[in-house]
Structure 1
């Protein structure tokens, strides 16, 4: 067995997402299983090199997990060669800092794997995609939700023709993010400042772009209404600040073939559903409700026949009339599954289509959503190319 080590610059691992999902549950989990099997007796061994601005935080994370390499000097790391250099640059920083760092990594000839949104504007996102293509480096964008068990089961139903003609999609995402005064907030304060790249439209519409594309073929138009329901919040130091970014967006998307998707995204909503995100798909032959892990379906032959009667209490057990879609396979962590595909892309050149152009499409939809809300009209979504 031959072990190939790939050194990966991990920028942004002091944040919750970068640390929990990308470092611990992806790369370190790969190491715990003995590396990534490339076939033919070859194993890829990921070697994270932690990058950030706070040396004490990086040192603590490295010590906690027995990692040998961390630095606060991204430039020196990108310029290093041989055993001191890195082959892949990963970025999970705040959005406003991402583009500049990715430009430096592309110029240094590193393969690129980044969180989304890939940039603060469409122009910047397209620039990164063009730079990476011109440099001949491999590049990918995290698009984790299509790897969730519930949505993979939903994809199985779609591919199997369960729905017949799909009529509509209804999505609900979100939860109550505390203001930070009497209970600490679950999200960082920059999320609620537009100057720092915050806002739920910029955060979530890139997710809905790739999810709707993967499942239903894409978005042809968008109508959105944004809101800042909680205009005052308290930051990590307990200081009050004005929330200038949107904390909710209510969007209607036209899909190919005439289906309509409605997705509400909010950090100012209390959860009355089984999971933090759920999508209901209705078709001529059946319906399904998918969340993070579960998917329930109802075929037209098993559809009950309720009758509206406001004078009597409802007695039908509506939730019990749906059938659980079985797993039929073992589902790994979605972030880890996509890391494995990207690392195989880097090591073996296997196809990988979730690239920086795909990331730019997400930024594009978010921009059009914000524009739709500002102008109060539906906006067509043209196809992006480099």
Structure 2
């Protein structure tokens, strides 16, 4: 199975998709199908930088698998190549709709990073093309396979929480502005320019939509506030630029079942919590706090009884009454797990619900959040779709 990988020279594309997913799958011999057969894969890297592509395809691939892989800067030839079965895109979000559209019209299965588009109308159009052409299609929803999230799902399925009461999530960290030479920015500059497709809402609300939907249920409406808290940063060439995209977003999501989820997302905060992402779920019988890998629980019986008295030092260490869940299974890389599922989907029609239509829901939530922030009002998901049309 030949897989064209477009735009994997960036940090996440290189590390998560190429090295830890595709090359790791090649190293293990392929993907086992439901028939027991092994589906092997043959990647070809596609991009604009010959130097970067050559390094990844020859040096990195050889280090990981023992042999080099193919690469090219000729995107059109790849899209026209009938031997390419899957087209994967992790490059610019603004280019993505056009590339996916072309690939699907030429009969290729498509798999891509999120968001699938910066506007809901475009995302819905991609989902319609996928339906019309009948090609296999999917979008990355990696958070679903993080160990911490899998532990939360297990607790939910076991009835640990009792009746769910609320969900609160904190995401983010301090992204250096680049003004200090020995503290360069650890994220690319386009992330902070709306004209280049950057922004916290379009980046992270797409994740929050599928995560909330999977764990707790569909979102009904949103109330959000977005801010550009750092007005200037330094780009890759060392020049200052004006930030035009939101670098922080604060939202309340009310679900169709009435559950309230609060999500704070910020690239301008310093971390004093268990992980870069923490999700606290409170229920009548117990609570849990999940990070990317770990999860801590507190049952009703273990809940302390604090008393408000600011005149004396707090006598309770509130971390003491939480129990860390053990790792009861091996947790593979989240991106690799979904890649294997998509390869099985393409090879033997295994179930794969994380389609472009599913991913359009994330764009819908991001667009609803942006409208809510702009109009300073609640926006329903139905209104977001109607507004897109």
Q: CA deviation at 1:384?
A: 6.6
Report Cα offsets for 1:196-239 as digits up to 9, x if no partner: 00001100000000000000011111000000000111100000
Say whether residues 1:44 and 2:39 are aligned partners: yes
Q: CA deviation at 1:270?
A: 0.5
| 2:2 aligned residue | 7
Return the alpha-carbon distance in structure 2 between the equivalents of residues 207 and 345 of structure 1: 22
Q: Is the 8 A contact 1:9 1:50 kept in 2?
A: yes
Return the alpha-carbon distance in structure 2 between the equivalents of residues 58 and 206 of structure 1: 29
Q: Is the 8 A contact 2:217 2:257 kept in 1?
A: no
Match of 2:112 among 111, 114, 123: 114
| 1:70 aligned residue | 71
Change in Cα spacing, 1:39 to 1:380, as seen in structure 2 (3 Å) is: closer
Return the alpha-carbon distance in structure 1 between the equivalents of residues 186 and 93 of structure 2: 18
Return 5+ residue gaps in structure 1 as ranges.
1-5
Report Cα offsets for 1:93-145 as digits up to 9, x if no partner: 12111111111111111101011000111011111111111111000110011
Match of 2:89 among 83, 87, 91: 91
Say whether residues 1:29 and 2:55 are aligned partners: no
| 1:278 aligned residue | 278
**TM alignment of 1:137-152, pairs within 5 A:** 137-152=135-150
Q: CA deviation at 1:72?
A: 1.0
Report how many aligned residue pairs link the two structures: 378
Q: Is the 8 A contact 1:99 1:124 kept in 2?
A: yes
Q: CA deviation at 1:255?
A: 1.6
Return the alpha-carbon distance in structure 2 between the equivalents of residues 51 and 45 of structure 1: 20
Match of 2:11 among 16, 19, 23: 16
- Give the match's secondary structure for 1:364: helix
Say whether residues 1:366 and 2:366 are aligned partners: yes
Return the alpha-carbon distance in structure 1 between the equivalents of residues 51 and 29 of structure 2: 29
TM-score, normalising length: structure 2: 0.95
Report Cα offsets for 1:53-104 as digits up to 9, x if no partner: 11111111111113331111111112123xxx31000010121111111111
Return the alpha-carbon distance in structure 2 between the equivalents of residues 362 and 11 of structure 1: 22
Structural RMSD (CA): 1.4
Return the alpha-carbon distance in structure 2 between the equivalents of residues 160 and 94 of structure 1: 41
- Give the match's secondary structure for 1:318: coil
Q: CA deviation at 1:41?
A: 4.1
- Give the match's secondary structure for 2:94: helix
Q: Is the 8 A contact 2:34 2:348 kept in 1?
A: no
Return 5+ residue gaps in structure 2 as ranges.
63-67
Return the alpha-carbon distance in structure 2 between the equivalents of residues 41 and 350 of structure 1: 13
| 2:266 aligned residue | 266
Report Cα offsets for 1:265-323 as digits up to 9, x if no partner: 00000111111000000011110000100001111122111111111111222112011
Report Cα offsets for 1:345-376 as digits up to 9, x if no partner: 11110111110011110001000100000000
- Give the match's secondary structure for 1:289: strand
Task: Return structure 1 stretches of 4+ with deviation > 6 angstroms.
Answer: 383-386
Report Cα offsets for 1:241-272 as digits up to 9, x if no partner: 10000000000000233221100000000111
- Give the match's secondary structure for 1:370: helix
Q: Is the 8 A contact 2:139 2:359 kept in 1?
A: yes
Match of 1:178 among 176, 179, 190: 176
Q: Is the 8 A contact 2:6 2:46 kept in 1?
A: yes
Report Cα offsets for 1:13-72 as digits up to 9, x if no partner: 111111100010001111111211114441111211000011111111111113331111
